[in-house]
Every structure is written in structure tokens, then in C-alpha cells.
Amino acid sequence: MEGYELVQTYEDADAVVVNTCGFIDSAVAESLDAIGEAMAENGKVIVTGCLGKRAEVIREAHPGVLSISGPQDYASVMEAVHAAVPPRHDPFVDLLPDYGLKLTPKHYAYLKISEGCNHGCSFCIIPSMRGKLASRPVDEVLREAERLVRGGVRELLVVSQDTSAYGADLRYEPREWRGKAYQTRMKALCEGLGELGVWSRLHYVYPYPHVDEVIPLMAEGKVLPYLDIPFQHAVPRVLKLMKRPGAVDRTLERIRNWRSMCPELTVRSTFIVGFPGETEAEFEELLDFLDEAQLDRVGAFAYSPVEGARANELPDPVPEEVKAERLARFMERQAGISAARLEAKVGTVQRCIVDAIDGELAIARSMADAPEIDGTVQIQNGWFAGLKPGDFVDVEIMGSDEHDLFGEVAFDEEAERPLRPGELPAVLV
């Protein structure tokens, strides 16, 4: 990419780009720690992302950073990269490839469909940082996806602040792509992505009623059977305090319904525990919800007030030690559920995508695992089977722990060796 190469260690890097988050105080602290680590290990540090909007916070903690830019400001990041590590002129590589600039490994890429959000969740300041929903027309998004696939991408990660609201600001305007009309809305986008023959994974899907419409597309294999859907809580009174709209009391029924339409569906969600006013009884109701919902992957935060958020004015804040204790109980309850759901996959065959080769192992992910946030599938005979990053492969699952699965490339009994990726049924690509 512009003659630069992405490397995995501080040692090998000529400069480090740190992507930050400024959403809640713990994310700010984590971002500042990451910058500090990069400063100590490498010294040439370029900071970007949400926290870049609060440059003074970064400058105060780390005055030596080379540059600070806000979210989506790729131009500033590249300008800073050019200044820190001037590009060598090479007429053969200086032209940008037609799939553009990508800050992820070659085989997966984030596909941004919109920016901003029209909600006003009381704990969140994203709308004030990023503004109202602004969607990209569907043909533009699909053309970018097409370019990425041509450039070698095998998995598209659809991101936004609110994927379900996609296109509402454009009144779901129909546009043409590959000679066919597609509306600028989530379902039509999924139909278009389904034409590309790669994995497409939906992130930040807000639980609106029309989410139900994309589940059949998951069952048909148009997009991955994976929903990253932040529920935040399960008790209607707390959700009301959070100013989360929608029919919050039907969540369990909806999850059951989704699973009956698409049994392979993986549901990932996030929750906030210790929100102001959350009683012990309400927290226990949340734990009961976890038992009932049997979600596959769950992230949780103890509520922490964000500067400028309306929730700070709510009465009855939960004391810090109670928050910490609830978070631990919540995570313990979910750990058992996640582990049991992974264990149930032992003995099955899962289609996976390979991320890396590590000695004899191939580190891969199944359809249920998004990069960075979910688990992995460690393929014990991955190197022997000749796998390389970006390959799709069917893996026989032989073991599991709380987060990850372990297995081997499905064995060809006749040839008495593992199947090679090229020999698998060409379901994808």
C-alpha cells in the first residue's frame, strides 16, 4: 500500500499508527495506555480515531506523538505517515491499488456504510462527536466492496454506528449496481453483498424490528449468520433510563424466532452493568436473561460516566465496588454459557478462514468469530495441510475452552491425509 508494508511488531515498524476510542472513560484510558506503549517501544507514533477529537487529552499524556487526527481522517493519517517515513519512489508500486488503502490484513476489510447516529442513548456522546446519521449510497458501498474483493479480500466487516438505520437519512434511495436496483437499506445491502461470494459480517446492528428481515438472508448464506447486536440491558425500566428505543420487552422472543429461522446464527452482544439506578433485583433479572438468551459472545462494561453524557445526571449512582462485583458476576455467568456453547461444537465440522500460520498451527476463525473481538479456531495440522492466510477450510472441531476451538483440517480417509483447501467443495469464492 503506497509502498508501505504492515508489520506485526514494534521492532519491525518504522512508525506506529494507534487507532483510539473515546467512547467511555475506560476506553480513553486503554487508548492512552496503547499510545504510551507504542511511544516506549517505538517512539514514532501517529494517533487517530475518536479520541483524536480531544487532542489536548492525548498531548497532555504523551506530548511526543507525531500527529493526532480524528475518526475517518485517512488523509491526515497518510500525511503523517509520509512525514514520518517518506515514501521511496518506485514507479512499479507508487500507484494505489484499485482496492484502495486498507489498515487490516489483506484477506479481511472493514466496510464503512455510514457515519453518525440519530439516537440519544443517555450514556453515549458519539452523536455529539460524530453528528447525525450520514449514509453512503448503496451503489457506492457495493462498488467499494467489489474493489476490495478484487484486491483479495475474503471477508467484509460491515461497520457503522448504527447498521440497522442504514439509509434512513437518504430515504432508502434506490441506486443501480450491476444493472439492478438496490435500495439504500440494510436488507438490500446484504442482498448485494451476497452476490460477491465472500464472507460479509454485520456489526453494530441495533435491535429494530426490521432486523428480522435479514435473518432469512443469513439462512441462505448471503451474509454470515452472525449478529453483533448491542442489547445493553434486559430490563425495560433500565433501558428506558438509557433512552434505548424500541420494543425492548420482546427481545427473548425475537432471539428464539431468529434461531428458528437460522439455527446456525451466532449472537454477540454488549451490556452495561451498574447503570445509575440499577437495583440488585434488576441486575438479577439481567443474569436470568443471560441464562434464557444463551448468547454466544458477550462483552460487558461497568457503567462509567462519560464527560458530557446525560446519564451523569441520573439519581442513585451504583457504588464502584457494587459495579465491580456485578461485572464479575455477570462475566462469570456468561463465561459458563459461552464455554458450553463452544463445547457443543466439538465433533462438528466448521468452515473457517485462516488468519495466520504460527509454527505448525494455523490460526483461523469460524463464521461465529469476528476478528479481534471473538475467539479463534486453532488448526493443529494447519501448516502440514499447506494452509495460508485468507484460505477457507473445513475444520473438524476436537476441543474447546472458554473462548477458542481446536481442531484439524478434515481428513481425506482415502488419500490418508488432510484435505487441502483446493479440494474442498467450492462453497465460497
Binds ligand SF4 by CB under 6 A, chosen from 117, 153, 190, 202: 117
What is the secondary structure of 157-185 as a DSSP string?
EEE-S-GGGTTGGGTT-EEEETTEEEESS
Residue 121 makes contact with ligand SF4 by CB under 6 A = yes
- State the minimum distance, in angstroms, from the CB of residue 101 to ligand SF4: 25
Residue 124 makes contact with ligand SF4 by CB under 6 A = yes
- State the minimum distance, in angstroms, from the CB of residue 370 to ligand SF4: 18
Binds ligand SF4 by CB under 6 A, chosen from 67, 114, 161, 334: 161
Radius of gyration of the chain (CA): 22
Cβ distance to ligand SF4 smaller for residue 127 or 399: 127
- State the minimum distance, in angstroms, from the CB of residue 299 to ligand SF4: 13
The footprint of ligand SF4 on residues 200-219 (CB under 6 A) is 206
Cβ distance to ligand SF4 smaller for residue 59 or 132: 132
Stretch that binds ligand SF4, among 72-80, 122-130, 374-382, 411-419 (CB under 6 A): 122-130
Burial 8-40 (b: 16+ CB within 10 A, else e): eeeeebebbbbbbebbbeebbeebbebbeebbe
Stretch that binds ligand SF4, among 2-10, 112-120, 185-193, 333-341 (CB under 6 A): 112-120
Cβ distance to ligand SF4 smaller for residue 208 or 392: 208
Amino acid identity, residue 237?
Answer: R
List phi, psi (to 5°) of 247.
-85, 85
Residue 127 makes contact with ligand SF4 by CB under 6 A = yes
- Tell me: is residue 352 an annotated ligand-binding position: no
Residue 162 makes contact with ligand SF4 by CB under 6 A = yes
* Contact in structure between 67 and 83 (CB atoms under 8 Å): yes
- Three-state DSSP at 101 gives coil
- Tell me: is residue 121 an annotated ligand-binding position: yes
CA distances from 142 to 112, 148, 156, 167, 224 (A): 11, 10, 11, 14, 17
Distance of CA 82 to the CA centre of its chain: 28
* Contact in structure between 248 and 201 (CB atoms under 8 Å): no
Picking from 95, 67, 98, the residue whose alpha carbon sits closest to that of residue 81 is 67
Cβ distance to ligand SF4 smaller for residue 114 or 376: 114
Residues engaged in binding ligand SF4 (CB under 6 A): 117, 119-121, 124, 126-127, 161-162, 206
Binding site for [4Fe-4S] cluster: which residues?
Answer: 117, 121, 124
